[in-house]
Amino acid sequence: MNQEDGYQISRALLLIGGIVAIAFGATALGVNLTGARTYADLLAFPGPLLTMIVGIIALVTSSKVKDESLNVVMAVLGFIAGGVGGVLVAVAGVWAIISRHTLKGAA
């Protein structure tokens, strides 16, 4: 496996994680919207909105997977967002960092 293969795996994980994060965030936000009685109830649980934002950022940055600073940001944001999508985004960020530092370039 070379660096490009590692980056392709990371890109795929970012895309899948971003889509899953947006889907789960939208579902949870819909549940919160239907069950909230006041605006304060909506602001009490910012998790679904954060998860959707992380999913959107993951989809946007999937084309820039070779940038190490974005990989660190995605790893941290994925752990903060949590859930299945957040974990996939975090794993993609860590995978890209590991690919950059341990795998050799294309032969």
Between CA 38 and CA 78 the distance in angstroms is 29
Is residue 106's pLDDT more than 70? no
Q: Which of 20, 1, 8, 7 is nearest to 100 (CA)?
A: 7
Query: How much is the pLDDT for 39?
Result: 74
Which tens digits make up the pLDDT trace of 49-68?
A: 899 999 999 999 999 999 99
Which tens digits make up the pLDDT trace of 63-105?
A: 999 999 999 999 999 999 988 999 999 999 999 999 988 887 6
Count other Cβ atoms within 10 Å, centred on residue 106: 8
Quick one: CA torsion of 24, 32, 90, 18, rounded to 10 degrees?
Answer: 40
